[in-house]
Structure 1
Amino acid sequence: MPKILRLFVKYVDALNYRVGRCAMYLIFLMAGCLLYSTFSRVVLGVPVNWVLEMSQFILSAYYLLGGAYAMQQGAHVRMDLFYDRFTPKKKALTDIITILCVIFYLGVMFAGGLSSTNYAYVYNQKNYTAWAPVLWPIKTLMTIGVFLLLLQCISNLIKDFAIWRGKPIKPASYVPDAAPQEGQIV
């Protein structure tokens, strides 16, 4: 593989690894919000309006910022009816075909996310609830998450193409818990 593609894979994998590891901790922030809501409602008798909505925003950021990391780690759900019986080259070819569809889908999602985020920012869009928070921060995080997933798909496409050619790209040393892809040299 050309050096530029290997560098792209290296830096995209490093970025998504670090973002994903940080995004993991958002679950604790969300749990803290929900615990605060329960405590204020049950113990203090004062319900808070913003907590449920903030928890939904945190959960959205959690799974969208962690999606690229999950893809990198091979943690997404896959239907393995025939796939397990394929040779590494056939698996790579199958992954190449399917990842091209995912890249198209994510490209459309990213374009829509940019448009929606721009609208929220320009018009100071607020949610139609009692709390009425501005929406551009969460829309920005969602668009970034889709973009990182798109980059990771391209990185996986390059790695699968290298496996299909019989010259796999070695996994980076900064990813200690990453399971190597089928046919990769460890």
Structure 2
Amino acid sequence: MNRLVTKLAVLFVACGSIAILMSMFVSVADVVGTMLGRPVPGALEFTESTMVLVVFGGITFAQIRHAHIRVELFYFRVGPKMKSVMDLITSLAGIVFFSLIVWQGGVEALYSFEIREATSGSIRFPLWPARWLLVIGSGLMIVQLLLDTWRDLTHFGNPRPTAFG
């Protein structure tokens, strides 16, 4: 399961990287076009939609690498068992948080798909794909957090390594 989640996370990060690159080119073209009196239609809407993929596509990969920002003021001053407890609490809180996002995001994504919700700009971009990306990215994060919780329970007293120390 770890390998599957990692492969999916890498795929999401790759797609997010491509999306941010495309967004950058569209934004530059829009700035240059605006200076020449011909802005790129739909540049803002495109950039807004790709940001969901960039953010929610990368959260699982960051979790796999243990690279999320956290307050380490206390973490590095306690013993291994307390670190394991802190890791467990963090994972469980993350599961609750992202479960709420999946639940409410799924409700919104379904409704958005049913009504064919789209932006109101010069080019109408559908909004439901971005809403589903939020749900899928959050769901993948939940799976990774469950794997981390299992690891924390089975290796209690041997806390996870961190990205920065």
Q: TM-score range by the shorter chain?
A: 0.7 to 0.9
Q: Which residue pairs with 1:20 in the alignment?
A: 13
Residues 144-183 of structure 1: matches in 2 within 5 Å? 144-164=136-156, 181-182=160-161
Q: Which of 114, 125, 130 pairs up with 1:133?
A: 125
Q: CA deviation at 1:144?
A: 1.1
Amino acid at match of 1:52: L
Q: Percent of counterpart pairs with the same letter?
A: 23
Listed as ranges, the gaps of 5+ residues in structure 1 are 1-7, 169-180
Write the distance in 1 (CA, Å) between the matches of 2:80 and 2:10: 24
Residues 99 and 153, structure 1, Cα contact 8 Å, conserved in 2: yes
Q: Is 1:32 matched with 2:11?
A: no
TM, length-normalised to structure 1:
0.78
Amino acid at match of 1:182: P
Q: Which residue pairs with 1:89 in the alignment?
A: 81
Number of residue pairs matched by the alignment: 162
Listed as ranges, the gaps of 5+ residues in structure 2 are none
Assess, with a 3 A threshold, how the Cα gap between structure 1 residues 14 and 89 changes in structure 2: closer, same or farther.
farther
TM, length-normalised to structure 2:
0.86
Residues 103 and 154, structure 1, Cα contact 8 Å, conserved in 2: yes
Residues 67 and 145, structure 1, Cα contact 8 Å, conserved in 2: yes
Residues 106 and 135, structure 2, Cα contact 8 Å, conserved in 1: yes
